[in-house]
Structure 1
Amino acid sequence: MAVDVVALGRWLRQSGQPVVEPLTATRIGLGQSNLTYLLTDAAGWRAVARRPPLGHLLASAHDVAREHRILAALGRTDVPVPRVLGLCRDEQVADVPVLIVEHVEGLVVDRVETAAAMTPELRSAVGLELGRVLADLHAVDPAEVGLHDLASHSPYAPRQLKRWSRQWAASRTRELPEVEKLTALLHDRIPEPGDLVLVHGDFHLVNQIVDPSSGAVRAVLDWELSTLGDPLADLGSLLAYWQEPDDPPLGLFNASRLPGFPSRAEVSAAYAERSGRDLAALPFWHVLGLWKVAIILEGVYRRALDEPANAALPGSLPDRAVVDRLVAQAWSVAYETGLAD
């Protein structure tokens, strides 16, 4: 167990939480990054604990203390996030910080079977709601919520290219020249900087808890990559994950192919209507989003090779070919949108 549950129960009680022994922790979610557990006590009290993965970690990655700061700040806004219960630094609990947040009831669409059980109307509502919630996040003034110093205020695209190129160099398991060529294209096509806002960094369907009746987002999850940057970067990442029926199979979670889910253009339009932003630079951020997801998944593959206990499910080592298909999709979008010629 990556968390000492007895010690965590003791820490929670000392922090004022009404925990009744015994406390149990069950691994939940399909995320391959931070390890996430549902905490349940003898009286039915529930919460969620998150800690970094096991083994060697890349610098600045999997920072749950940073996630704690962001969630605490956003708790004072209209952005739907889980309420923070605490950040445990007790070394008897774990050798790393452990973030504790409230358990939010609702639907997590992290399996195709879950999405298939939804009505087409609910799928449509959820998809369009993602665009609107993302616009609401980007309307938050970082200075007003105490996050103005969360990250550099320099142009975001060069920062992203530098960071994820470094992550690629540190986590790749083979040579992949198409990644290097794509990196060079993105360097050559950097758009003018947009507004500086709080960006989520990994905003997509799986990282939401939604109302099973209305499709409204009850909580946005997994803020470990959040920073200050260009708002279209978040929309580009959402599009990178958002597959349509005519797309070539990527090997990613593909629930958005089901009837009722809006197209990428419709999700983008919902964002544009709510935010009032110009989407002219979106092709760059869409391609960068695909490039970044490919690098993230290569890192997932590396961590699972290095420490099999990091896999979300036994035997769930990701298919490395997904990285190649994501890079190919990025090139396809680049040519279709005129980013590459």
Structure 2
Amino acid sequence: MTSKQDQFSGTQEVREAHRFDEARLEDWMNANVEGFSGPLTVAQFKGGQSNPTYKLTTPAKTYVMRRKPPGKLLKSAHAVDREYKVITALGAQQFPAPRTYGLCQDEAVIGTWFYIMDMADGRIFWDTTFPEVDTAERHLYFDAMNRTLADLHNFEPDRIGLGDFGKKENYLARQISRWGGQYQADEEAGHFEEMDRLCEWLPANLPDEGPARVVHGDYRADNMVFHPTEPRVIAVLDWELSTLGDPLADFTYHAMMYRMPPEETAGLVGRDLAAVNIPTEEEYVTAYCERTGRSTVPNVDFYMAYNMFRLCAIIHGIKGRHIRGTASSKHAAAMSERVEPLGRLAWEQAKKAGA
């Protein structure tokens, strides 16, 4: 069986649906990217379910381009302009974010909005158990992920130029409304009982939220680049879902790996964590709390239900795009099969929280 590392790592020829006029892009980069010099060679990264992502190679330097996908898009989705803004602001704070070079909102160039950033030279791990890493060092990679997310949540948005990056109140209510609404609106992808129940139960059982912070929205091992040899995060990627909101929702999305089976994004359920030198959920939560000045993460079962519901809605959207022929990844069909099992798992978490 092909591993996720093999499936999603590296590049491929640009997919037919995502091709564009490369000469026009090169002209734009000549005019707008400091230090750019062609000729330009374009390949498409295998990963990237939502926004098509490209490797742009020149004789002297390698860049990455993220763009909106072509075709009919859901409202507020694929916000590459927001990605560009948050990466640029965080990079100025020495947070591990790629250097940005320019944002293009002129659809006449390649057909959709896009931005250009540095190519981070390092390792991406698609399996949460880090099988490529020596067992003795695995806990250090988990510690690096934990520390980097805590660092993000310790920034006060107003102090780093992101005070207007989103609303600061009622994050959970707005997120549940957004993703529930997108799920309900996409009739082509189908509806099912557990998600319908969650659309009703979650907004009726919201916990209190603390001060808003920058939230990544999709923080997991395969959305970061590690140093080529060290257990250190050098770049956090894929900021499409970032905004201001509840940092505990963001952290528990990341910690959701402890509640997911191996077939679901390389979850850790059923793994012998001690044998593979991975911290337990309790140890991981404690480390985050110590780094962010908290005593605990309350309402953790609600947060897990919410995050699985949200992830299910996202994958439901991928299923809809696959049906309409606009999905960014050739793996969209396999992703679509996860929708109902993930919705059932989300409802199980809700029952733990009292549903």
- TM-score for the superposition, normalised by structure 2: 0.86
2:56 aligned residue (21, 39, 42) = 39
Shift of 1:118: 1.5
1:161 counterpart residue number: 176
Shift of 1:254: 4.1
2:244 counterpart residue number: 228
Question: Structure 1: which 5+ runs fail to align?
Answer: none
Q: 1:251 to 1:197 in 2, by over 3 A?
A: closer
1:331 counterpart residue number: 347
The one-letter code matched in structure 2 to 1:21 is G
- Contact 2:70-2:111 at 8 Å conserved across structures: no
- Contact 1:199-1:229 at 8 Å conserved across structures: yes
Distance in 2 (CA, whole Å) between partners of 1:264 and 1:99 is 36
1:340 has 2:340 as partner:
no
2:298 counterpart residue number: 280
2:337 aligned residue (317, 321, 326) = 321
Q: Is the deviation greater in 213-222 or in 276-285?
A: 276-285
Q: 1:281 to 1:195 in 2, by over 3 A?
A: farther
Distance in 2 (CA, whole Å) between partners of 1:100 and 1:30 is 17
- Contact 1:300-1:318 at 8 Å conserved across structures: no
- 1:1-341 equivalences in 2 (<5 Å): 1-41=18-58, 43-110=59-126, 115-172=130-187, 173-240=189-256, 242-243=257-258, 248-254=261-267, 257=271, 259-277=276-294, 278-307=296-325, 310-313=327-330, 316-336=332-352, 339-340=353-354
Shift of 1:250: 4.3
Q: Secondary structure at the match of 1:59?
A: coil
Identity rate of aligned residues, in percent?
Answer: 33
Shift of 1:86: 0.7
Shift of 1:8: 1.3
Q: 1:128 to 1:91 in 2, by over 3 A?
A: same
The one-letter code matched in structure 2 to 1:275 is T
Distance in 1 (CA, whole Å) between partners of 2:286 and 2:94 is 21
RMSD (CA atoms): 2.2
Deviation by residue 1:53-109 (Cα, 9 ceiling, x = unmatched): 222111011010111111111112132100111112343432221110001111111
Shift of 1:264: 2.7
- Contact 1:232-1:281 at 8 Å conserved across structures: no
Q: Is the deviation greater in 316-325 or in 154-163?
A: 316-325
Shift of 1:226: 0.7
Q: 1:307 to 1:122 in 2, by over 3 A?
A: farther
Q: Secondary structure at the match of 2:116?
A: strand
Distance in 1 (CA, whole Å) between partners of 2:91 and 2:203 is 36
The one-letter code matched in structure 2 to 1:77 is Q
- Contact 2:122-2:225 at 8 Å conserved across structures: yes
